[in-house]
Amino acid sequence: MHTKVLIRPENFYLRYQHWQEKACRVHLEMLRGSYANEVFGKGSDDLNYECSSQYARIIWQPDSLQIEDLAFVLEHLSGILLKNNYTLQIRDERNEVFDSGHKVSIQRHYLKPDLPCDDVVKSGNLHLYGNIFLEHRFSSQCNALHITSNYYGNKRYLSFEKLMEVLLT
């Protein structure tokens, strides 16, 4: 496995800005619909939801979106978290090669709540949504967005559902 700092191509942000103007709402609505179907028991062909006492995660694999589309969704969701009291801890890319020879690239943003402990204690506040991993995993055979919220110790957190509400509004 090889890990490096995530560096976007020179024209990535120009294309990202165009995506925000033209396709952002449509792609977020697709994710919102898939998430709602899965959570409310209707099932979704392109989204899996996992939840335990230590984490909650969705894995979204829309067949109709290109690799670059999910890279833009990753960037957009990270930006929303940065505006909602999170700080970016890690932004990297790694490549995994499996025994079968299949190679997968993983672009990852790791974000942590940016709340001083005193603020949390004084207000009796929750620790936001936990530590969050946003990952875009892609290859010639897969294209998936992972959103994971990790919970630690006996701290209290806002629900994963509230996190998704913030991300998809």
pLDDT reading at 118 higher than 60: no
Per-residue model confidence as pLDDT tens digits over 1-43: 566 788 888 899 999 999 999 999 999 999 999 999 999 999 9
Instruction: Using a pLDDT cut of 70, give the percent of the chain over it.
Output: 91
Per-residue model confidence as pLDDT tens digits over 124-147: 556 789 999 999 999 999 999 999
3-state percent helix, strand, coil for the chain, nearest multiple of 5? 35, 30, 35
Quick one: angle between helices 160-167 and 67-82, nearest 10? 110
Contact, 132 vs 81, CB < 8 A?
yes
CA 72 to CA 27: how far, in whole Å? 10
CA 144 to CA 106: how far, in whole Å? 10
The mean pLDDT of the chain is 90
Amino acid 125: pLDDT: 57
Per-residue model confidence as pLDDT tens digits over 151-165: 987 778 889 999 999
43 sits in the region (left: phi over 0; alpha: psi -120 to 50; else beta) called left
Amino acid 30: pLDDT: 98
pTM (two decimals): 0.90
Query: pLDDT-based confidence at 122, cuts 50/70/90?
Result: very low
Amino acid 101: pLDDT: 77
pLDDT reading at 52 higher than 60: yes
Contact, 131 vs 94, CB < 8 A?
no
Amino acid 116: pLDDT: 62
Per-residue model confidence as pLDDT tens digits over 67-101: 999 999 999 999 999 999 999 999 999 998 877 87
